[in-house]
A = this chain, B = another copy of it.
Amino acid sequence: MKEKELHIDGIDKVILKHLMNDARTPILGIAREIGISGAAIHQRLRKLEASGLISGSKLIVNPKVLGYNIVAFIGVYLDAASKYSSALKRLKEIPEVVESHYTTGNWAILVKIVCKNNEHLLKLLNQDIQLIKGVARTETFISLDQQINRQIKL
């Protein structure tokens, strides 16, 4: 998928910085700011897409408005590493699970979940996650304050 070495110069960085902040920023506005034509920006974007650096764009929704007020991380211990793929399959079916990582260290899986309140969290733990075959026990870490949420710097 990656053949060409990609050279990201200062202009590319300006373009990407704008679009990483708001994917719907008009190309022509960026063009005027930089001082090159809209077509040139378009060409650069096509190149960056082809290189795989741009992997898409997403509309970001605020979970709080839907009543999802709690973010928590759950460390999941498996009784055998071989249970990973089947457990993962079940985790994918739980919509509140928004991230899942197979990790080195204490537990086997680190899961990030979003839920509405404490009862909801308890229900997820007791009736969903801990009932998955292979899950031995879990450790829960509730995020009381998320102050950093960004992408890697260019």
Q: Which residues of A contact B (CB under 8 A)?
A: 2, 6, 16, 19-24, 51-63, 65-66, 68, 71, 73, 88, 91-92, 95-106, 110-111, 114, 139-154
Contact = CB atoms under 8 A, between A and B. Distances in A.
B16 A59 contact: yes
B66 A152 contact: yes
Contacts of A151: 58, 60-61, 63, 98
A55 B66 contact: no
A139 B96 CA distance: 26
Contacts of A148: 88, 91-92, 97-100, 111
12 contacts: A2-B65, A16-B59, A20-B59, A23-B24, A53-B65, A63-B151, A92-B147, A101-B144, A101-B145, A102-B143, A103-B142, A105-B139
Contact of A54 (B53, B61, B97, B103): B61
Given A57-B58, A62-B53, A143-B103, A98 B21 contact: no
A136 to B, nearest CB: 17
